[in-house]
């Protein structure tokens, strides 16, 4: 029972004044926050996503990363990789499930270690089993969700992820259906460094619409990705 609930109870119950006072003092002794296991505590997020999740992310959180329209799919993928690199613990393992078009060099530039990065194929018929295997073993899973996933399967996966403290980053056509504790929608991209026939792409500013449950506030943010 939390301290507030106990204090409230002390005021509401029909009690003699001295007993009420005793109950009030007991309520004051309950610690303000219940203790949390170290593995369940939010971990700080690194990289550009530090400003999106300033309080860190609890391992086991599911986040969907999608694009507002198809032309921004590559930018959404860049967001997903940046987020994965931000949340992976030191020496942690990352798997990329069913994202056949991911630019591996971009993942390296974002800070993922190739010797701890595993690419798993996920044909539609075996998607659920591959995803479960990945969620149960890896620290971070970048998961391509098919267009119309079975909702029961999605709920089961999210539950396993919470239980095993695996951070799931859902992308692909079904990312919006995934839901998750936070949703990151890439709505616009501006690239810098390119002129009219000269220069080269250098860095980009993405606009993301953020939405979610709990401590995640719905808002629009601008992030700088790239060096």
Partner 1 sequence: MTPQRTVVVWWPDWPVVVAGRAADPVVVVANNKVVAMSAAARADGVRVGQRRREAQGRCPTAEVLPFDEGANARAFETVVAAVEELCPRVEAVRPGVLAFASRGPSRYFGGDAALIAQIRAVACDAVHTRLQLEVGAGPGVGVADGNFAASLAARAASSARDRVLYVPPGRSAEFLAPMPVAAIGDAAIADVARRLGLRTLGAFAALDPSDVVGRFGADGVTAHRRANGLEVRSLAPREPPPELSVEVVFDPPAETVDRIAFAARAVAAELEEGLRGRGLSATALVIEVETDHGEKRTRRWRSEGALNAAAVAERVRWQAEGWLTDVAQAVDDDAPTAGITLLRLAPDEVHEHAGTAQSLWGGASEANERVSRAIARVQGMLGPNAATTAVLVGGRGPGEQIQMIPWGDSRAVDAARANAPWPGRVPAPAPAMVLAAPVPIDVLDVSGHAVRVSGRGEVSAPPVTVVGPHGVDRVTGWAGPWPAEERWWDAAGNRRRARLQVQCESGAAHLCLIEGGCWFLEASY
Position 210 contacts partner 1 (CB under 8 A):
no
String marking each residue 7-46 x if it binds partner 1 according to CB under 8 A:
----------------------------------------
**Residue from the set 108, 176, 210, 221 that interacts with partner 1 by CB under 8 A:** 108
CB of 173 to partner 1, least distance (A): 14
Whether the Cβ atoms of residue 145 and residue 175 lie closer than 8 Å to each other = yes
Whether the Cβ atoms of residue 208 and residue 185 lie closer than 8 Å to each other = yes
User: Of the two residues 10 and 94, which places its CB atom closer to partner 1 in the complex?
Assistant: 94
Enter the tokens of residue 142: 């970048």
Which range in 12-20, 40-48, 106-114, 209-217 contacts partner 1 by CB under 8 A? 106-114
Closest CA to 3 of 32, 24, 37: 32
For 43, which DSSP code? B
Closest CA to 186 of 214, 217, 215, 220: 220
The rounded Cα 146 to chain-centroid distance in angstroms is: 18
Position 185 contacts partner 1 (CB under 8 A):
no
Do β-strands 199-212 and 167-171 pair in parallel, antiparallel, or remain unpaired? Answer: unpaired
**Residue from the set 197, 214, 217, 218 that interacts with partner 1 by CB under 8 A:** 197
Where does this chain bind partner 1 (CB under 8 A)? Answer: 69-75, 77-78, 81, 91-93, 100-106, 108-109, 114-115, 117-121, 123, 126, 129-130, 133-134, 136-139, 188-191, 194-204, 226-227
């Amino acid at each position: 029972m939390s301290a507030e609930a106990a204090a409230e109870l002390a005021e509401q119950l029909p009690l003699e004044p001295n007993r009420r006072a005793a109950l009030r003092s007991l309520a004051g002794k309950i610690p303000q926050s219940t203790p949390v296991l170290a593995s369940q505590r939010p971990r700080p997020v690194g990289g550009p996503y530090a400003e999106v999740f300033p309080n860190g992310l609890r391992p086991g959180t599911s986040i969907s990363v999608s694009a507002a329209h198809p032309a921004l799919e590559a930018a959404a993928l860049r967001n997903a990789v940046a987020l994965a690199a931000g949340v992976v613990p030191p020496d942690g393992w990352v798997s990329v499930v069913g994202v056949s078009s991911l630019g591996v060099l971009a993942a390296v530039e974002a800070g993922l270690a190739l010797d701890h990065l595993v690419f798993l194929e996920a044909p539609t018929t075996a998607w659920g089993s591959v995803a479960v295997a990945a969620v149960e073993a890896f620290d971070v899973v970048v998961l391509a969700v098919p267009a119309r996933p079975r909702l029961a399967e999605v709920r089961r996966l999210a539950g396993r992820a919470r239980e095993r403290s695996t951070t799931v980053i859902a992308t692909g056509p079904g990312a919006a259906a995934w839901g998750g504790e936070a949703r990151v929608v890439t709505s616009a991209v501006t690239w810098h460094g390119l002129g009219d026939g000269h220069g080269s792409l250098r860095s980009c500013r993405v606009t993301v619409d953020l939405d979610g449950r709990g401590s995640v506030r719905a808002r629009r943010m601008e992030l700088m990705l790239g060096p």
